[in-house]
Amino acid sequence: IWNGSGVFTRTDGGTWDGHWQEGEFVRGKMTFSDGKTLQGEWKNNVFTNGRMALANGSWYNGTFHQGKLFNGTAGILNNTGVLYQRVCEEGRFLSEQELRGRVQQAQKDSISPTQRSKRLVTKDIALRPDKLQKVNESTKTSKAHQRSQSDKPTVITFKNGNVYEGECVKMKMHGQGRLTTPNGSTWEGRFDSNKLVHGTVSFLDGTRLTGEFKEGKLWNGSGVMVLRDGNVYEGAIAEGKKRHGLGKITSADGRIQEGEFK
């Protein structure tokens, strides 16, 4: 496959299910014969973002470097069957003592961990791509400090596996950033109060949308969309309508329709 989506089955029984770009696998899921799976994004044929799951039940979520977790969280199953949840920063797993020390120091100084470090790991935050809900009261900052200073660029790894890298204000995604989910989708561009307002969203099925967003939907822009019937639309999108303007539809049987859609 040069450009497009599909499933490739290896001779050893492993599969690659996802999207190719110029002959390289860029998004999707790889399943290996030993039971290991990789789901997320690849660059130059190297796995960079997403989730790695092993046959023994261990898992790793976040960004990867040279095949290993670089920033993120992990659940590591030991020989006795106990699953330990760990936090990884720049290729190194933090100890429980380090994590406790960071929280205690942040509480002592009355400053959010986000404002003390470029990297924040929060276990008590639930996240949807368009909604961030803070539930850990210990991470609050003073209102005066929140008004006077924005948070620095941050890497936040959430307990559901979502990873946000970018600018934050008052514990919200605000400014330029990139959100990666365990299912392989990415939201990249300019965020405003936890919502992507302008940028690009990519999904495993090959759907890629670029432009202005409202309430989590592309409002004005262009994209490549894989439709429910298997057809693929490439072209303009206006005022939230999936097909509006000049575009092209390629059906599953290879037929092509080009023109202006309304």
- The string of pLDDT tens digits covering residues 30-48 is 999 999 999 888 999 899 9
CB 66 within 8 A of CB 72: no
Per-residue pLDDT averaged across 109-123, rounded?
41
pLDDT digits (tens, 9 = 90+) for 56-111: 888 898 889 989 998 888 888 877 777 777 888 888 887 766 666 665 554 555 44
What distance in Å separates the CA atoms of residue 165 and residue 180, rounded to the nearest whole number? 9
CA distances 176 to 93, 165, 179, 191, 192, Å, are: 27, 9, 10, 6, 9
Class of domain 154-261: mainly beta
Per-residue pLDDT averaged across 188-207, rounded?
83
Per-residue pLDDT averaged across 207-214, rounded?
80
Q: Which helix (H) or strand (E) holds 147?
A: helix 143-148
Third-level CATH fold of 4-98: 2.20.110
DSSP state of 94: P
Q: Give residue 136's Cα distance to chain centre.
A: 22
Angle at 38 between CA 33 and CA 40, to 5 degrees: 150
State whether residue 58 is helix, strand or coil: coil
- Burial class of residue 109, CB neighbours in 10 A (0-12, 13-18, 19+): exposed
CB proximity list for 128: less than 8 A, separation 6 or greater = none
Per-residue pLDDT averaged across 209-237, rounded?
76
pLDDT of residue 259: 73
Of 60-64, 112-116, 188-192, 238-242, the poorest mean pLDDT is in 112-116
What distance in Å separates the CA atoms of residue 59 and residue 220, rounded to the nearest whole number? 38
Reply yes or no on whether the pLDDT at 119 is more than 70. no
CB 71 within 8 A of CB 62: yes
CB atoms within 10 A of CB 149: 13
What distance in Å separates the CA atoms of residue 28 and residue 14, rounded to the nearest whole number? 13
Say whether 154-261 and 4-98 share the same fold: yes
State whether residue 130 is helix, strand or coil: coil
Domain layout of the chain by residue ranges? 4-98, 154-261
Reply yes or no on whether the pLDDT at 129 is more than 60. no
